[in-house]
Amino acid sequence: MAPDHSRLIDSLDGLLAFPVTPFRSSGELDLPRFETHLSELLEAKPGALFVACGTGEFASLTLAEHRELLRVAIAHVGGDVPVFAGAGGGTQVAIEFTRSAERAGADGVLVLPPYLQVGPPRGLVEHYRRIAAATDLAVIPYQRATAIFTPESVCELAEIDGVIALKDGHGDVELLQRIRTETGGRLLLLNGMPTAETFARAFAGIGVRAYSSATLAFAPAIARAFHDAFERGDDAVQDALLTEFYVPLARLRHTTNGYAVSLVKAGLDIQGRSAGPVRPPLVDTSPEHRAELARLLERGHAVVPDASATSGARPVA
């Protein structure tokens, strides 16, 4: 009998947290800093925690480091929120990371696209079918880069035991609408764009409301303010945060490959909560971009509304 993942599906609502992986200047994992970082994230009450995924530099981690991060995260969370682990690479490598995550006690895996190799839709489906067959964990394929699905292939994914959702980082709203129509809503869709808040309203228009927030990892007050405004339909607050913070942040991210991660770590460091450097091939932010990010953080926090002014607002049905 397939495991019942209904509790996990229910948890994939609202803000989804993606912690960074802190490194010491020597390049080793900084596990005490990781625990502090997790505590900071949990204060924002995310629906689920995704460890060692894209923001957590999965591609730069060894299997032993991946296992250690999960061990610390699962012990630290203590069951308060579900913990998903990153997995990826070729099929056998992804299975190895998935099985390791299962032994560590994770609730599920977010499977990043296969590296470099590009196969036809039936090959992609078989990749995820084999991963799901190798574990009792919940499996979430991540659509982007070398893993772009047809609506028909997503219908096949929806029939695989253990596959509970599809995270989209591709951003083709027409394709997502076709997927949603073809699957009849049987598979939960998640907004996983690099600056997901800039897509939130567009994705909501086709029924995709839950999203992963990289901003939550370094500016939780901004991330929470935007999400709360999004949930209650407050366009004025959303527009102010988009204008002063999110759209300029996306523009800054586009200047340099890898900044989707580097800017998160720079944002932490600017605010006195350093998580160390990124690992190659990523690069740390340049001094001028770091200064620009500092200005954006100041502008973003300046337009975060007073919680008492919005506490009585009713969420949109």
**Annotated binding-site positions for pyruvate:** 55
Overall CATH class of domain 7-219? alpha beta
CA dist 261 → 54, 96, 104, 258, 264 (Å): 8, 25, 25, 6, 5
* Biggest CA-to-CA distance, the chain: 56
Q: Report how far residue 74's alpha carbon sits from residue 67's, in angstroms, rounded to the nearest whole number.
A: 11
Contact (CB, 8 A) for 17 and 50: yes
> What is the full per-residue pLDDT of the chain (317 aa) written as tens digits?
678 899 899 999 889 999 999 999 999 999 999 999 999 999 999 999 999 999 999 999 999 999 999 999 999 999 999 999 999 999 999 999 999 999 999 999 999 999 877 889 999 999 999 999 999 999 999 999 999 999 999 999 999 999 999 999 999 999 999 999 999 989 999 999 999 999 999 999 999 999 999 999 999 999 999 999 999 999 999 999 999 999 999 999 999 999 999 999 999 999 999 999 999 999 999 999 999 999 999 999 999 998 544 433 333 32
Burial of 317 (0-12, 13-18, 19+ CB in 10 A): exposed
By residue count, the chain amounts to: 317
CA nearest neighbour of 282 among 256, 258, 252, 250: 258
In this prediction the pTM is 0.94
Listed in sequence order, the residues at least 6 apart from 51 whose beta carbon sits closer than 8 Å to its beta carbon are: 19, 69, 70, 73, 83, 84, 85, 86, 106
**Annotated binding-site positions:** 55
Angle between helices 63-77 and 31-42 (to 10 degrees): 40
CA dist 118 → 34, 58, 148, 229, 266 (Å): 34, 20, 10, 39, 33
Amino acid residing at 258 = G
Tell me the catalytic residues: 142, 167
CB atoms within 10 A of CB 314: 7
* Domain definitions of the chain by residue range: 7-219
